[in-house]
Amino acid sequence: MNFDFTEEQLMIRQAARNFAQNDLKPGVIERDEHQTFPTEQMKKLGELGFLGMMVAPQYGGGGMDTTSYVLAMEELSKVDASASVVVSVNNSLVCYGLEKYGNEEQKQKYLLPLAKGEVIGAFCLSEPEAGSDATSQHTTAVDMGDYYLLNGVKNWITNGNSASTYIVIAQTHPEKGSKGINALIVERSMEGFAVGAKENKMGIRGSDTHSLMFTDVKVPKANRIGEDGFGFPFAMKVLEGGRIGIAAQALGIASGAYELALNYSKERKTFGKPLSDHQAIQFKLADMATEIEAARLLCLRAAWLKDNGQPYGAASAMAKLFASEAAMKVAVEAVQIHGGYGFIKEYHVERLMRDAKITQIYEGTSEIQKIVISRDLLK
């Protein structure tokens, strides 16, 4: 593993940093307050190539590596985790899934506009009664010959109301369990598809999270990804990469909170000297910086394994587990270092603390990451 970044990787990191400061930071508090989706910012991120970063140029993407993606996700998440989750879902769940497992026709029709950022995608696995227990799908896709009849409800879907293309996981052969599940590409305009109410959330309030309802939606067979019954391994494979994106999001939330706390500790004086001169605060900063560095190395290692064609499922689970726990700890300490000001919205750290929590829950809770890691250790 090389610890030096290439010039291209550094340029991408700088571009993401500039975008975060110039385009995401203004208005981030208001978007959080009013649960406003960053529509304009997403359009611009798409034009800059951040929504299809790793997709091959022939399919409209930037052809970048996963390390670049981690660097970009960290920078965007330092400022606005609501925007970065859209970037993560579009890149690593939707675009990656289509590029790796879709056929040529699906790539031309769906991947191209998604990778160019012309439209946004959503990944729909979770249901009211199937979150961690993802194999127990209640949504059904009944084989009707040349189409599937899709019925059911998906829960907490990121980009639920802003997406045009949805990858929906559904059960076709219940008797086959996880081997009877399919992944279908559903268009928003298909008859019988409805978007439910927006969830009122603790954190990442600028992202739009909705339930989705499918009532006798006719999905052409041509929209099935892979062979009949490939839907569950598809979802698991895609989530291996998705977890690198969320790990990098958690890393960004942690480093954003840390940087704010570090600067504040130098400015705020108590007992005649800056906070940063008190050893108790110095030790907090040392702990925070160490957690962040370890999280960063785990993210970059998982990215490196993926880019080098090696198994990365356990590594991405470790990165997500560690980085999300670090984000929570660091963000809480950042609020503590800010004292009363930390509790006030304009200082940003309270939002980062609320945003950190979701990284321990979505794309597999911390407990689920431990299942994935321990199964890999014991296999």
Residue ranges that bind ligand FAD, judged by CB under 6 A: 89, 123-126, 131-133, 156-158, 201, 204, 209, 358, 361-365, 367-368
Helix (H, G, I), strand (E, B) or coil at 119: coil
Residue with the closest Cβ to ligand FAD?
Answer: 131
Q: How far apart are CA 319 and CA 323, in angstroms?
A: 6
Q: How far apart are CA 328 and CA 353, in angstroms?
A: 6
Query: What's the closest the beta carbon of residue 356 comes to ligand FAD, in angstroms?
Result: 13
From the list ligand CAA, ligand FAD, none, partner contacted by residue 253 (C-beta under 5 to 8 A by kind): none
State yes or no: residue 226 binds ligand CAA (CB under 6 A): no
Determine whether 87 is exposed, middle or buried from the number of CB atoms within 10 Å of its CB (0-12, 13-18, 19+).
buried
Query: What's the closest the beta carbon of residue 78 comes to ligand FAD, in angstroms?
Result: 19
Query: What's the closest the beta carbon of residue 139 comes to ligand FAD, in angstroms?
Result: 11
Query: What's the closest the beta carbon of residue 358 comes to ligand FAD, in angstroms?
Result: 5
Question: Which helix H or strand E contains 155, and what residues bound it?
Answer: strand 147-158
**Strand-pair partners of 158:** 209
Q: How far apart are CA 24 and CA 65, in angstroms?
A: 24
Catalytic residue among 175, 267, 363, 367: 363
Residue 124 or residue 281: which is nearer to ligand FAD going by CB?
124
Residue 68 or residue 360: which is nearer to ligand FAD going by CB?
360
Is residue 96 within 8 Å of residue 69, measured between CB atoms? no
From the list ligand CAA, ligand FAD, none, partner contacted by residue 209 (C-beta under 5 to 8 A by kind): ligand FAD
Q: How far apart are CA 64 and CA 61, in angstroms?
A: 8
Query: What's the closest the beta carbon of residue 372 comes to ligand CAA, in angstroms?
Result: 5
Q: How far apart are CA 375 and CA 144, in angstroms?
A: 37
- What burial letters (b/e) apply to 89-107, b meaning 16+ CB within 10 Å? bbbbbbbbbbbebbeeebb
From the list ligand FAD, ligand CAA, none, partner contacted by residue 232 (C-beta under 5 to 8 A by kind): ligand CAA
Residue 203 or residue 342: which is nearer to ligand FAD going by CB?
203
Residue showing tokens 């359009």: 43
Is residue 175 flagged as an active site residue? no
Q: How far apart are CA 330 and CA 179, in angstroms?
A: 41
Q: Among the candidate windows 1-9, 12-20, 65-73, 119-127, which touches ligand CAA by CB under 6 A?
A: 119-127
Is residue 222 within 8 Å of residue 183, measured between CB atoms? no
Is residue 212 within 8 Å of residue 160, measured between CB atoms? yes
- What burial letters (b/e) apply to 134-172, b meaning 16+ CB within 10 Å? beebebebeeeeebbbbbbbbbbbbbbbbbbbbbbbbbb
From the list ligand FAD, ligand CAA, none, partner contacted by residue 372 (C-beta under 5 to 8 A by kind): ligand CAA
**CA distances (Å), origin 177, targets 30, 130, 167, 364:** 45, 13, 19, 20
Longest dimension (CA), the chain: 78
Among 20, 28, 79, 125, binds ligand CAA (CB under 6 A): 125
From the list ligand CAA, ligand FAD, none, partner contacted by residue 30 (C-beta under 5 to 8 A by kind): none
Among 110, 123, 147, 193, binds ligand CAA (CB under 6 A): 123
Among 236, 289, 297, 332, binds ligand CAA (CB under 6 A): 236
Residue 163 or residue 292: which is nearer to ligand FAD going by CB?
163
Residues 251-310 that bind ligand CAA (CB under 6 A): none
Residue 238 or residue 285: which is nearer to ligand CAA going by CB?
238
Residue 63 or residue 233: which is nearer to ligand CAA going by CB?
233
* Nearest Cα to Cα of residue 336 among 301, 288, 368, 379: 288
State yes or no: residue 42 binds ligand CAA (CB under 6 A): no
Residue 333 or residue 363: which is nearer to ligand CAA going by CB?
363
Residues in the site for ligand CAA, rule: CB under 6 A?
85, 89, 123, 125-126, 132, 134-135, 158, 178, 232-233, 236-237, 239-240, 313, 362-364, 368, 371-372
Catalytic positions: 363
